[in-house]
Amino acid sequence: DEFGDREKNIIIDPSLAFENLRLRNTYIALQDWKKAILLDLFNLTADWVGPDVCDYTGVYCTPAFDNKRNKIVTCINLNHEDITGYLPKELGLLTGFFVKVKLMLELDLSNNWFTSKFPEVSVMLHLHKFLDLRFNEFEGTVPKELFDKDLDAIFINHNRFRFNLPDNFGNSPVSIINLANNKFHGCVLASLWKMTGL
């Protein structure tokens, strides 16, 4: 299918009934993410079973704007849960529902122990509120595409990112941005004058 082999690690019980295809894809993405969690001290993901993904801890749904009878995931909040692991590429399945639908979606993974490079899936998602990755162990560069996104807030502080502020840094319409306790270079002042909502 359009997502390639992303479903290969998850076997879906044929008896499971999903409200819509979007929630089925969410189920696949979250089940694979659960496998990528190495330590879940508070057993947050213990209830991440079955087709009712809107009942999973930390997962929130609202009616879809294109069809009010269908629910879709609009927020994933795993803030301060002491989770150790990484974000698998299968989370890219979450992008499928937002291509034509504009949502107020937030992704909050702060105060955990997530590792690996900047989670590219957070740039792929049509987030329209905020992205919060602070207080983790993410490392490497930050993609310049992040600063072209229509976000209200970006929190990537207290990680191990190393990057040069890109030319498009000032394009970001955010009202708040926190890059503290990373290693970045570049001229902030050259871009700040364009950030009229900051």
pTM equals 0.79
Q: Which tens digit of pLDDT belongs to each residue from 8-32?
A: 467 788 899 999 988 998 899 899 8
According to DSSP, the residues that pair with 39 across neighbouring strands are 84
DSSP helix/strand/coil, 54: helix
Beta carbons within 8 Å of 95's beta carbon, 6+ residues apart: 121, 124, 125, 126
Beta carbons within 8 Å of 129's beta carbon, 6+ residues apart: 104, 105, 106, 151, 152, 153
Which H/E stretch holds residue 35? helix 21-36
Q: Which tens digit of pLDDT belongs to each residue from 74-130?
A: 888 888 888 999 887 777 667 655 444 455 478 889 999 998 899 887 787 766 688
Residue 51's nearest CA partner among 16, 93, 5, 12 is: 16
Radius of gyration of the chain (CA): 17
* Domains with residue ranges and CATH for the chain: 21-193 (3.80.10.10)
**pLDDT number for residue 11:** 79
User: Are 80 and 108 a contacting pair, CB within 8 Å?
Assistant: no
Tokens of residue 164, six digits = 């040069």
